[in-house]
């Protein structure tokens, strides 16, 4: 394995080592000898949803043969029965495809559902997509039959259709799943009973994002490079056709994601025909820049084929998912992403945004102050991080001109502090800060709307600072999952942030009047504009707008141009 891949493999482990995986069981730990117990707890959550058949006795109800009609919702592909808990009904493991992508359907586009009048339990999360065992969802049972979604709705509703949020999880396009306790929206909906929330599972890694068309028999797999996005599109179609039965408004849908999930939702907005399914996007630390070129995708496939000693898709089809996942983690870790194939995604997403491809979609998006510090901590500290960053910098910046490289070196040389800080700052710029600002710039130039934020609240861990994912626990109302934050954030601050996100989902404007704001103070969030470049700064005790120049989120001369490189 090359040094580049070895270093990336270390970073993959960082995705979980730094945080939520260690607290997913409300205080449980995956460290040391407790790892097996931790995995056992997560696997104990698993169950298989079954068909519910007519029954005439109360005893049969206990066995799942009968059901409470008040907890049932009729959808195109069946009637699904959820579970009630504290005025919130959760429906878990609803299939959004007609056939799961197994066997001959591996690397094929998702199959639409068919009408079905039968009744099914929706009690348990479905299997996680195949992935290495390195984070919460990965310890849950896995399988290629993983295309399901979950729905949370308030038990008490009126006849007014409710706004809908569809959540797409992150995890470097190779990890994660809806079973992660961080993505349980019970608390969120209980606090905000005027909306419906959906979480979507999708194919990950080389089963969801693998270029195959250049192989001898690859012409039969034209969608393999972007199947994860097509899965999400199919889920959005299902939501559009069925969410009204849950009380949701199919004409007021916001798609929301963080990290790779943020990349997905911004990229979905660029997919032809997608705008019929949503009108707003919330992207946390994710942009269209989290994608790769066709050339990079082909290079990754060739390296994987060599590692597996395979020569065709037929050869790959003979291998089980576990073999494919293990080989990809060894050969091409942290290099998997949606492909700018010119078919589903434009070859230049920035140009597409600037030319108005998403101007009818309203965006709320932003980044954290110290994104890469999450990876610094996750790798185990400065020494392994600097080793990775040196290697990654050489590889990533290899195509720059002499002048461009001089600008980058000037930026790094001007950063004072610890020896790792030039690296954390540079890669924060490449992967998160500069793409975030460019998305708002291009969207605004095209005549579209972008509400932009800058999250600054710091972890109790001084090295973590305000790292990647820091906003998740307070935003999704899980203060108990504080592996990254190291502490609960101020509750009024957290509730205000949640209320602004909900207000955006409801109206397309996250601003709060004093009567809606938890602290009783008016919160006017200005649109990003080309002249003043306003962003909303989320300081823990002072949510307020500023001009970008006051915070210097991006270095316009020395890092902004790096958005052309993409993140992978």
Q: Which of 347, 374, 403 is where one domain is finished?
A: 347
298 with 393, same domain: the answer is no
Evaluate whether residue 356 is within a structural domain: no
Torsions phi, psi of 492, nearest 5? Answer: -65, -45
453 with 566, same domain: the answer is yes
441 with 502, same domain: the answer is yes
Indicate the pLDDT class of residue 348, thresholds 50, 70 and 90: very high
DSSP 219: G
Burial of 327 (0-12, 13-18, 19+ CB in 10 A): buried
Separation CA 293–CA 458 (nearest Å): 34
> Given this model, what pLDDT does residue 65 score?
57
CB atoms within 10 A of CB 335: 22
Indicate the pLDDT class of residue 36, thresholds 50, 70 and 90: confident
Evaluate whether residue 164 is within a structural domain: yes
pTM for the whole structure:
0.94
**Structure tokens of 354?**
């600037």
Whether the predicted pLDDT of 3 surpasses 60: no
Predicted confidence (pLDDT) per residue in 361-418, tens digit: 999 999 999 999 999 998 899 999 999 899 889 988 999 999 999 999 999 999 999 9
Separation CA 419–CA 27 (nearest Å): 33
Separation CA 190–CA 82 (nearest Å): 16
Closest CA to 464 of 538, 376, 390, 523: 376
68 with 212, same domain: the answer is yes
Whether the predicted pLDDT of 61 surpasses 80: no
Whether the predicted pLDDT of 32 surpasses 50: no
270 with 369, same domain: the answer is no
174, 259, 285, 440: the active-site residue:
259
259 with 396, same domain: the answer is no
Separation CA 568–CA 554 (nearest Å): 19
Determine which of 28-37, 141-150, 166-175, 209-218 has the lowest per-residue pLDDT on average: 28-37
Indicate the pLDDT class of residue 450, thresholds 50, 70 and 90: very high
Evaluate whether residue 352 is within a structural domain: no
User: HSE of 287 in the Cβ direction (CA atoms, 13 Å)?
Assistant: 33
Indicate the pLDDT class of residue 346, thresholds 50, 70 and 90: very high
CATH of the domain at 95: 3.40.50.1820
Known catalytic residue at 440: no
461 with 520, same domain: the answer is yes
Q: Which of 347, 376, 405 is where one domain is finished?
A: 347
**Residue 435 belongs to what domain range?**
361-568
Q: Which of 347, 375, 398 is where one domain is finished?
A: 347
Separation CA 177–CA 136 (nearest Å): 8
Determine which of 30-39, 156-165, 293-302, 555-564 has the lowest per-residue pLDDT on average: 30-39
Separation CA 140–CA 100 (nearest Å): 18
Q: How far is CA 267 from CA 107, 172, 177, 348, in A?
A: 20, 14, 19, 11
Q: What average pLDDT score do residues 503-531 get? A: 97
Evaluate whether residue 353 is within a structural domain: no
Separation CA 9–CA 129 (nearest Å): 19
**First-to-last C-alpha distance (Å) of the chain:** 18
> Given this model, what pLDDT does residue 392 score?
86
Greater pLDDT, 482 or 319: 319
377 with 444, same domain: the answer is yes
343 with 365, same domain: the answer is no
141 with 239, same domain: the answer is yes
Alpha carbon dihedral 120, 125, 130, 134, in 10-degree steps, equals -170
Determine which of 91-105, 375-389, 499-513 has the lowest per-residue pLDDT on average: 375-389
The C-alpha R_g of the chain, in whole angstroms, comes to 23
Greater pLDDT, 450 or 159: 450
Predicted confidence (pLDDT) per residue in 451-489, tens digit: 999 999 999 999 999 999 999 999 999 999 988 899 999
Closest CA to 231 of 43, 45, 105: 105
> Given this model, what pLDDT does residue 325 score?
97
Tokens 């995890």 found at: 171
329 with 417, same domain: the answer is no
CA angle 31, 32, 33 (to 5 degrees): 120
Separation CA 137–CA 175 (nearest Å): 8
289 with 153, same domain: the answer is yes
- Of all residues in the chain, the percent with pLDDT exceeding 90 is 86
Q: What average pLDDT score do residues 342-346 get? A: 97
Closest CA to 302 of 264, 328, 321: 328
**Number of domains the chain is built from:** 2
Separation CA 176–CA 199 (nearest Å): 12
Strand order of the β-sheet with 83-85 is 83-85, 88-95, 148-154, 196-200, 162-168, 248-258, 280-284, 362-368, 449-455, 534-539, 542-547
Q: 300 and 336 in contact (C-beta within 8 Å)?
A: yes
Whether the predicted pLDDT of 1 surpasses 90: no
């Amino acid at each position: 394995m090359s040094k580049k891949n070895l270093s990336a493999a270390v970073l993959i482990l960082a995705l979980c080592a730094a945080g939520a995986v260690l607290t997913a069981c409300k205080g449980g730990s995956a460290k040391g000898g407790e790892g097996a117990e931790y995995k056992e707890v997560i696997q104990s959550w698993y169950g298989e949803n079954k068909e519910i058949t007519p029954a005439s006795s109360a005893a049969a109800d206990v066995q799942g043969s009968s059901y409470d009609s008040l907890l049932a919702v009729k959808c195109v592909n069946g009637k699904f029965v959820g579970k009630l808990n504290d005025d919130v009904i959760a429906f878990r493991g609803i299939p959004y495809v007609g056939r799961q992508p197994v066997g001959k359907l591996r690397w094929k586009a998702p199959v639409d559902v068919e009408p079905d009048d039968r009744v099914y339990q929706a009690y348990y999360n479905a299997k996680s997509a195949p992935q290495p065992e390195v984070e919460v969802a990965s310890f849950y049972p896995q399988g290629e039959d993983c295309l399901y979604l979950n729905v949370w709705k308030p038990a008490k509703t009126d006849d007014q259709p409710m706004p809908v949020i569809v959540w797409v999880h992150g995890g470097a396009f190779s990890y994660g799943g809806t079973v992660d306790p961080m993505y349980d929206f019970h608390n969120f909906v209980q606090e905000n009973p005027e909306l419906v929330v959906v979480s979507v599972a999708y194919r990950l890694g080389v089963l969801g994002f693998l270029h195959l068309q250049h192989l001898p028999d690859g012409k039969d797999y034209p969608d393999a490079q972007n199947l994860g996005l097509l899965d999400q599109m199919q889920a959005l179609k299902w939501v559009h056709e069925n969410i009204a039965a849950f009380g949701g408004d199919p004409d007021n849908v916001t798609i929301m994601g963080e990290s790779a999930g943020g990349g997905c939702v911004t990229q979905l907005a660029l997919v032809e025909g997608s705008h019929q399914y949503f009108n707003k996007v919330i992207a946390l630390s994710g942009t269209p820049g989290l994608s790769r070129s066709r050339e990079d995708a082909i290079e990754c496939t060739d390296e994987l084929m060599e590692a597996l000693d395979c020569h065709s898709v037929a050869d790959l089809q003979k291998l089980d998912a576990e073999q494919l996942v293990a080989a990809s983690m060894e050969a091409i870790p942290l290099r998997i992403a949606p492909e700018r194939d010119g078919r589903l995604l434009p070859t230049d997403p920035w140009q597409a945004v600037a030319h108005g491809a998403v101007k009818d979609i309203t965006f709320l998006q932003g980044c954290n102050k110290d994104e890469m510090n999450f990876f610094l901590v996750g790798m185990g500290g400065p020494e392994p991080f600097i080793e990775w960053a040196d290697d990654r910098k050489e590889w990533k910046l290899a195509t720059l001109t002499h002048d461009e490289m001089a600008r980058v070196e000037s930026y790094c040389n001007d950063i004072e502090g610890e020896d790792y800080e030039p690296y954390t700052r540079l890669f924060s710029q490449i992967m998160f800060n500069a793409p975030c600002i460019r998305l708002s710039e291009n969207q605004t130039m095209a005549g579209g709307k972008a509400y932009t934020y800058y999250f600054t609240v710091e972890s109790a861990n001084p090295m973590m600072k305000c790292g990647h994912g820091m906003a998740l626990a307070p935003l999704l109302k899980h203060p108990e999952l504080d592996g990254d934050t190291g502490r609960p954030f101020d509750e009024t601050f957290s509730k205000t942030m949640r209320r602004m996100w909900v207000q955006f989902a409801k109206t397309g404007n996250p601003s709060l009047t004093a009567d809606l704001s938890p602290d009783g103070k008016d919160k006017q969030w200005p649109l990003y504009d080309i002249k003043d470049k306003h962003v909303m700064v989320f300081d823990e005790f002072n949510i307020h707008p500023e001009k970008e120049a006051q915070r210097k989120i991006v270095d316009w001369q020395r890092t902004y141009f790096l958005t052309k490189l993409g993140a992978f």
